Structure 1
Amino acid sequence: MIVDCAHYRDGRRQHEGPMDPEEAAARCAQGGFVWLGLFEPGPEELARVRASFGLHELAVEDARAFHLRPKAEQYEDGTELIILRTARYDDEREEIDTGEISVFLAEHFVITVRQGIASELTGARSRLERHPELLRSGSASTLWAILDQVVDSYAPVVAELDRDIEQIEATVFSGAVAPTERIYSLRREATDFYRAVHPLLAVLTRRLPSGRAPAVRTPAELLPYFRDVHDHLLLVNEEVAAQRDLLATVLEANIAVISVEQNRINLRQSATMERLTIIATVFLPLSFVVGFFGQNFPWLVGHIGGLAAFLAFGVGGLVLPCVLLFGWLRGRDRGDADGRQERDRHPEARPFGRGSRGVPGE
């Protein structure tokens, strides 16, 4: 779909209203340049534009595909293809929406093919039309306007990512467990965003005097504007790289918090099992005594008939195992304590790490 098409000459827009690709291509011979803007065009529409402007078939194929990284290609007919990745933060979903802009740049025309909702260029066109001194510089001015808007749109995304990371960071370093899935999601978004930002530095460097000369020369009056965009992009690149590193640290810290919490649960379970084991150990001999005296042998039934016999055999039979068990446990604890004290007094008697023969470990 053609969003807008305009012919610019002497810093002014020469045409208002709709214009088809054939008429736009014919106006290229009248001086100045034509800016044709397309949004998610179909194969037939792209084929029509290609036939009108003589675009390379590989360039058109690149414009139809969706790329993970920005790039710049130069063709023998003097046309450049610059592919940019756009980004926008969605507050409701707390995710980054991405888009793509393919820019066909030549001396007398500029064709932009937008993919995705995060690739709006109306602001870039309006801003450029308010600066006729830049429009007089030629078609390279449109590339500056597009790059400037794309890079400026990165700043809110960086700010929103910072806010999300700070929330996760505060949760993790307060000792609470943060959702690991959310940290992975943020790390993936930061990585995808980095792929959109970092390669764009190479694209921008081509427009500067120190870089490889592009097919469409950058006028000297536009160089300060391209350098300004390059400086902003460097700052965004550094911030996104720092966010990736910080998210890696937060993920490691969250895993450590999860491990600490799991250890606490294991300790509580161990303490519970210890109490249950003690109770079972105490009641095991008592159950044996009760079961023994509960047998209906004539001697037991006939000889335990008075209070004294009941206290001696019944109650005594229950108390005696408890006393013996208590004494055995106390003796075992005392023996363990004496052994630890003996090892502390004679550390040289401790075995080495190579087995029971006392061979020193390597």
Structure 2
Amino acid sequence: MIIDCAVYRNGVRESTEHDTESLEAALAGLGKDDFLWIGIGNPQTFELERVAATLGLHPLAVEDALEAHQRPKVERYTDHLFMSLRTVRYSDDDITTHEVNIFMGANFLLTVRRGGPDLRNARKAAESRIEPMSHGPTAALHAVVDSIVDGYEDVAAELETDVEEVETSVFSNRPSSDSTRIYRLKRETLEFRRAVMPLRDPVERFATGSMPEDSRPYFRDIADHLARAADAIDTIDKLLDNALNAHLAQLSVQQNADMRKLTAGATIFAVPTAIAGIYGMNFEHMPELKWTLGYPLVIAVTAGICGYIYWRFKRSGWL
């Protein structure tokens, strides 16, 4: 349940045993500038409650961490901060999100992950930068949030590539089901938006005043990455709208062209139909009935009229 646990003294890692008693001992032995970083993956209710009791976490924050599908948010309690955010992955026109909940106190950081990629790379990257890690748990918080937000930009880049493919397909001459793919991409973009947009205001507050002065530049960098991801989402959404409108317009133009061809064909065949209908009537005294060249003359006149109509339609672009 506890994936990783370590004490950081002056930015240097000291591993700790992964049990409640060891956590209590580690907390009791922390110095002024030391902090404890605990990583938990897919915990059972009783497991998280046991760790929460050791760290003194607020029960409402623990309840939010236990309930899935939280909206990205930041809440402050008396002696700790609770943050909920989502990791995002994109593959085969499908957005997948998983929840990460973070508790930060004066001398600890607890990450609770539900599914999705683990946070080992974020921890290793943070541990390689000893000077920032000496700033305390805010450095660990920055490492986790920065890793997740960097993933947003990667997803945005992949979505933009797929949107370019859709645009190319829309303006090509080959038949395709572009409207289906555009709808799927718009739905996945909406899911992406739900993960990114609610996070902008909390991170902006981190960057401008609610974090220690030495940590704010790092959160300003995250805020900048979030802004780029949000701008990319807006651009993707607008491009998909434009692609859908262009696709529908092309379908309408194609249908009009098809209707014109059908109309032209019906007009051409109306002439022989009318002549055949007249000469199919059972009257004796009709022109050319007794004339030897009457039949080829009617055929020739019919073919001439049809040819003339075809030429006029071809000239006007209907055929």
Same fold (TM over 0.5): yes
Of 215, 225, 242, the match for 1:232: 225
What's the secondary structure of 2:281's corresponding residue? helix
Q: Distance in 2 between matches of 1:158 and 1:89?
A: 9
What is the TM-score when the length of structure 1 is the normalising length?
0.74
1:115-154 equivalences under 5 Å are 115-117=114-116, 119-154=117-152
Q: Distance in 1 between matches of 2:11 and 2:108?
A: 14
Q: Distance in 1 between matches of 2:175 and 2:189?
A: 21
Aligned to 2:281: 288
When Rg is computed on C-alpha atoms for both structures, the one with the higher figure is: 1
Q: Distance in 1 between matches of 2:90 and 2:81?
A: 30
Aligned to 1:19: 18
Alignment length, in residue pairs?
299
Aligned-pair distance for 1:135? 1.9
- Aligned partners of 1:180 and 1:254 also within 8 Å: yes
Q: Distance in 2 between matches of 1:276 and 1:66?
A: 67
The amino acid of 1:95's aligned partner reads D
Aligned-pair distance for 1:125? 0.5
What's the secondary structure of 1:27's corresponding residue? helix
Aligned to 1:88: 89
Aligned-pair distance for 1:253? 0.9
Q: Which has the higher contact order (CA 8 A, sep 6+)?
A: 2
Aligned-pair distance for 1:204? 0.7
- Cα deviation, 1:280-314, whole Å, max 9, x if unaligned, reads 2222122223xx56xxxxxxxxxxxxxxx9x9645
Aligned to 1:265: 258
Aligned-pair distance for 1:139? 0.9
Aligned-pair distance for 1:276? 3.5
Q: Distance in 2 between matches of 1:275 and 1:256?
A: 29
Q: Distance in 1 between matches of 2:70 and 2:18?
A: 32
Q: Distance in 2 between matches of 1:239 and 1:140?
A: 28
Runs of 4+ in 1 over 4 A off after TM superposition: 175-178, 311-319
Q: Distance in 2 between matches of 1:312 and 1:226?
A: 97
1:178-197 equivalences under 5 Å are 178=176, 179-197=178-196
Gaps of 5+ in 1: 294-308, 334-362
What is the TM-score when the length of structure 2 is the normalising length?
0.83
What's the secondary structure of 1:137's corresponding residue? coil
What's the secondary structure of 1:14's corresponding residue? strand
1:108-119 equivalences under 5 Å are 108-117=107-116, 119=117
Aligned to 1:165: 163
Gaps of 5+ in 2: 310-319
Aligned-pair distance for 1:122? 0.7
What's the secondary structure of 1:8's corresponding residue? strand
Q: Distance in 2 between matches of 1:282 and 1:68?
A: 76
Q: Structure 1 pair 159/49, CA: closer, same or farther in 2 (3 Å)?
A: same
Aligned-pair distance for 1:177? 5.6
Aligned to 1:79: 80
What's the secondary structure of 2:206's corresponding residue? coil
Aligned to 1:299: none
- Aligned partners of 1:177 and 1:258 also within 8 Å: no
Aligned to 2:41: 39
Q: Distance in 1 between matches of 2:19 and 2:271?
A: 90
Aligned-pair distance for 1:67? 3.1
Q: Structure 1 pair 318/29, CA: closer, same or farther in 2 (3 Å)?
A: farther
What's the secondary structure of 1:113's corresponding residue? strand
Aligned to 2:8: 8
The amino acid of 1:195's aligned partner reads R
What's the secondary structure of 1:208's corresponding residue? helix
